[in-house]
Amino acid sequence: MKKKLLSIFILLHAFQIGIAQPANTNMSNGIFFDGEPYLVINPTNHQNLVAAWMGIKYSGGLYRIAIKTRASFDGGNSWSTINTLPHFGTGFGSADVSMAFDKNGLLFISYIDYRQAPDSGGIYVARSFNGGLNWDTPSKAFDMYDVKNKRPIDRPWLVVDKSNTLNSGALYITTKPAPWIAPPNRNYFKVSADSGHTWTSIANVDGGAYLVGDLIAQPMATPNTMVNGNFCAAYPSYVTAQNPFPAYYFAKSTNRGQTFSYATIFAGMFNPLDTNFKSAFRLASNPIDSNKLVFLLPNAMNGDVDIMAFSSNDGGQTWSKNIRVNDDLILNGKAQDMVWAEYNEQGNLAVTWRDRRNSGANGFWNAGYDFYYAISKDNGQTFSANQKLTSQFIAFDSILTQNGNDIMGCVYQGDTLYSVWGDTRSGKMNIYFAKTIASTNTNVGINLLNGEEFRWEIFPNPANDFLNVVISDHINAKEIFVYDAGGKKILMQTIKDNNFNINTQSFSKGFYFLKIDNEIKRFIKD
């Protein structure tokens, strides 16, 4: 009877995996960590999606972060094998990927490749002529020493002009000083008119009476391009001579960044955020109406961290009051962060974010999470009822305190919302993908990714006395290894069954790693 019950439990578990997978597909299946995904859609072929992210890769005797990409040509139902962008120096690691299609379907990707101490590297740009299947040789857009002592290579955002104006095809990258550079700091940008092969001299986004000031260590500018050919960006500032309050400013250029006009999005005293929350902000530009823009950010002006939207209907000259996007109870102690937003071709806006409303814990620590979305059809004045993107609630993991999981991504085409994010449901940070019909909140089934198949799973995680392992037939008879957090091998055994357990009663509390072949999964011993 016990054997029969165990078989039923294994079948139920496998069934749960099967029904969750079509809603949330693991894009990366990395060995340790995958983070900060980016997603784009081809304006000339709406079935062509490309995802990119940061992922650990073993190369040259080192585990280093590399930029990985996959492409789909059937609306996300299946995906190409993983492509890895190159490094440009010994010991270099990559970070901060972003992508953009031009109006003709040429795809650009930018990322940092660098080393600290001695500081070297830069921001690199590559092109794909086949919808993200392959990339040409990357060229350097920014160098670590473009601004002496400031290392202007952190959080680069790439955008491309898709208008029918003389600015069509112009590439823009905004960036800021490296995290180890103390303020005063400024934000920077460059422009390319030849598909990213050459770039203008480095310049500042802020200026005039709209300076960043001396107090902000990381003055990120979030850029976009407008349908009338303008380049625009939003960024933070705190200069009391300009404004007695901290502010977010809007910069707009009609001439490829040669000159800017400025406006205030909003200013005020903000409740301080726990620095563990991901506070990156997003500026979105309506693709059919150059007057309409939306600026979104996590903000604690209501007491706990909500997603706030500010909209403009006059090209960024004036901005609305803040509109709360998440619809859980105000001041319930549940925080939202990691916001992203995109318009569809009809001018409707989709907003996605990480949400802790279903957690039993308040604040950041020990608060599990889901990912949610909402739709606005009136340029951010009102939002639909919030809906979940995730197929399961994800338990808190301390890896969320670390760098490399600051953003998620989405694209919105017609009534279909495509979303990517990193979460820790597998015991490690992996990138997940969802395809959702927004008007009905219906998840569209996704096939297994090209070259992927079920290999093995572990549960429960965290584990107490036993860790269960379920494997597929083709890895039976292989060896499984267990390592502690320091990398010391503490167990090795030969796999003799498709389901078995590992006795963890004698394990100390903490993190452990299981390894079969070259695949590694992390688990926690409670």
Task: Write down the architecture of domain 456-525 according to CATH.
Answer: Sandwich (2.60)
Q: How far apart are CA 237 and CA 319, in angstroms?
A: 17
Burial 44-66 (b: 16+ CB within 10 A, else e): eeeebbbbbbbbbbeeeeeebbb
Q: What is the mean pLDDT of residues 102-123?
A: 97
Give the list of residues 6+ apart from residue 79 with CB closer than 8 angstroms, or none: 27, 51, 70, 71, 72, 449, 450
Domain borders along the chain are 25-144, 456-525
| Average pLDDT across the chain, whole number | 90
Q: What is the pLDDT of residues 279-290, one digit of tens each?
A: 999 999 999 999
Place of tokens 């991504």: 409
Q: What is the pLDDT of residues 165-182, one digit of tens each?
A: 999 999 999 999 999 999
Q: Smallest Cα–Cα separation from 176: which of 167, 168, 185?
A: 185
Q: How far apart are CA 463 and CA 441, in angstroms?
A: 34
Task: Write down the architecture of domain 25-144 according to CATH.
Answer: 5 Propeller (2.115)
343 has pLDDT over 60: yes
Q: How far apart are CA 510 and CA 523, in angstroms?
A: 8
Q: What is the pLDDT of residues 125-150, one digit of tens each?
A: 999 999 999 999 999 999 999 999 99
Give the list of residues 6+ apart from residue 217 with CB closer than 8 angstroms, or none: 179, 181, 182, 183, 185
Q: What is the pLDDT of residues 414-436, one digit of tens each?
A: 999 999 999 999 889 999 999 99
Amino acid at 43: P
Amino acid at 13: H
Alpha-carbon distances, residue 187 vs 135, 238, 263 (angstroms)? 28, 14, 17
Q: Is 425 exposed, middle or buried (0-12, 13-18, 19+ CB in 10 A)?
A: buried
